Structure 1
Amino acid sequence: MRLVLDPPAIIGLGEAFEKVCEVFEVYIPRAVFHGLAEVRYCRVGSHELRKLVEIR
């Protein structure tokens, strides 16, 4: 199953975000990624999101 996640979904998943990515094929729109994970921002979920993108 494929999931397309928006910012509230990523933030709401918190630490479970990585597990969800292991089970599902996750798509994050470019604008969502930049909104959450740009270097100058420090938002909930941004670290996890950047880490997962770097791995893949």
Structure 2
Amino acid sequence: MKSSTKDKAQGVFHQVEGKVKEIAGKVSDNPKLEAEGTSERIAGKVQEKIGQVKKVVGK
């Protein structure tokens, strides 16, 4: 698997996982879990963008 495709796939996975943690944190009234989910979701977006940039650059 190309590096760019791998980054994009992992980024999407982290976004989904982060969103699940956010919702679980809200439901269980756990602000730490909610914050962890938010940061993971944002990191996933960044990783997905890195994959898109790599594809454009050709790595």
TM-score w.r.t. the length of structure 1 is 0.27
Computing the radius of gyration over CA atoms, which structure comes out larger, 1 or 2?
2
Higher helix proportion, which one? 2
Higher strand proportion, which one? 1
- By relative contact order (CA 8 Å, sep 6+), the higher-ranking structure is 2
TM-score w.r.t. the length of structure 2 is 0.26
